[in-house]
Amino acid sequence: MNETENIFLSLINQHKAIIHKVSKMYMIDAEQQRDLFQEIVMQLWKAYPTFKGNSKFSTWMYRVALNTALVYFKKDHRKVDKTPLNENIDVIDTDDSEAKEERLAYLYKAVQELNAVEKALIFLFLENQSHREIALNLGISEVNARVKLNRTKEKLQFIIKKNGYEF
Amino acid sequence: MNFDDLKNDWQADQSSEPNISKDLLEIKQAKTPIDILRKKMKHEFNYQIVALILMAAFPYLFGFSPQMKLIFLAFYAITCGFTAHYFFKFYRFYKNSYDMTMDSRKSILWFFYEMKLNIELYKALTYIIAFIWMSFITVYLLIEKTGAINRVFAKLSPTYILLNCFITIVIIGVITELWAWYYYGKYLARVKKVVDDLDDE
């Protein structure tokens, strides 16, 4: 293995959670998540020579990962399973880490009803990016990023409520 | 729902998946719509080469006269010329790399216009080839089947013949558009949807 590969693998392994999260946001099926994950890793590797270190590696990764996910073409269009994960779940009363996992599992399920751009907005918001950073990553104005994000958050809340899950 | 709590949960969730190995850097072909389009166009290019080779045998298969062989050769050369011209453009499209590090809007617009341009080129080539060979068949019928053509012309009115020509052209157009849509259009529509969602204010 050459040195460039070693450095690249070390960098993406430090930030592999980003790729996993993008894959789970964009694909609900485990096999398709794996395919998208591989696709993102490959696109990152292809684009790596353009990484000059002017920005943080994670910032650069966000762009490549999201751009790949935005145009990724899955083979079949499976219907989104809209049934609640568990209708009797009472998040407040369960063990904290279990409740967190449950909330995230439900989030991943709910975001499947958003379009590709809305998924990108929610992803960047959850990654703690400011409106300005979201706008820069998506190539839209800051005002547009704010408006779109607010609309997407409302839509997500509606989806979660509609499917009978509140947290 | 509290988005701040959700954000905290999200950020606390660090992947427990195994590390990414070198093998993943050497996998299969990319699967972006551009890559899928390139792969399909490469297949079509191969089919077209086979079709051109088979067509070279037509004068012998159909027993063309020496005069008809010369006319066929002229049409064949024009077809090869157009095919070479367009496939040179497709080859450049095939080899042209893309930049995934631009902002999403720029990156997706690049994908969209690159795909649209090449689908239009593909359609243009299909029209050109269809019309070249329609013309050849017309010339063939006029020269080799003069008697039969004269009998048809005597029975049918010029308006009816013109109408048939027009309908044939429309059918070629519809088939080309439908084929391009079925084969490539869904990828373009997918990217167009993302462009529209990004631009929607």
- Is the dihedral angle over the CA atoms A105, A29, A130, B190 positive or is it negative? negative
pLDDT reported for residue B8: 87
pLDDT reported for residue A116: 93
- Start-to-end CA distance of chain A, whole Å, equals 47
Which single residue is written with the structure tokens 């009998």?
Answer: B151
pLDDT at position B201 over 80: no
pLDDT at position B44 over 80: yes
Residue of A9, A16, A51 with shortest CB distance to B17: A16
pLDDT reported for residue A1: 59
CATH match of A91-162 with 3.20.20.70: no
What is the pLDDT of chain B when averaged over all its residues? Answer: 87
- Mean pLDDT, range A9-21, rounded to an integer: 91
- Mean pLDDT, range B177-182, rounded to an integer: 90
Residue of A12, A68, A116 with shortest CB distance to B100: A68
* Rg of chain B in Å (alpha carbons): 26
- Residue B28: pLDDT band (50, 70, 90) is low
Instruction: List CB contacts (< 8 A) between A140 and chain B.
Output: 105, 198
pLDDT tens across A46-74, in order? 889 988 888 889 889 999 999 999 988 77
What is the pLDDT of chain A when averaged over all its residues? Answer: 85
Residue of A1, A72, A166 with shortest CB distance to B22: A1
Give this prediction's pTM: 0.81
CB B111 within 8 A of CB A71: yes
CA distances from residue A40 to A62, B116, B188 in whole angstroms, order as listed: 10, 24, 20
- Mean pLDDT, range A128-136, rounded to an integer: 94
Task: Tell me the angle at which helices B33-55 and B186-199 cross, rounded to the nearest 10 degrees.
Answer: 150
pLDDT reported for residue B155: 87
Domain residues of chain B, as ranges?
30-96+110-199
pLDDT tens across B30-39, in order? 678 888 888 8
**How high is the ipTM of this complex?**
0.81
| Amino acid at position B67, single letter | Q
- Residue A83: pLDDT band (50, 70, 90) is low
pLDDT at position A76 over 60: no
| Nearest in space to A139 (alpha carbons), one of A88, A79, A66 | A66
| Nearest in space to B39 (alpha carbons), one of B180, B184, B179, B178 | B184
The verdict on A125 touching B (C-beta cutoff 8 Å) is yes
Share of chain B above pLDDT 70, in %: 96
More confident residue, B159 or A75: B159
CATH match of A3-71 with 1.10.1740.10: yes
pLDDT at position B113 over 60: yes
pLDDT at position A93 over 70: no
Beta carbons of A16 and B30 less than 8 Å apart: no
Beta carbons of B36 and A73 less than 8 Å apart: yes
pLDDT tens across B59-84, in order? 999 888 999 999 999 999 999 999 99
d(CA B187, CA B131) in angstroms, rounded, equals 28
More confident residue, B27 or A43: A43
Domain residues of chain A, as ranges?
3-71, 91-162
Helical H segments across A50-129, by residue range? 57-71, 96-111, 116-126
B16: closest chain A residue by CA: A17
A vs B: CB pairs below 8 A: 148
pLDDT tens across B139-148, in order? 998 888 888 8
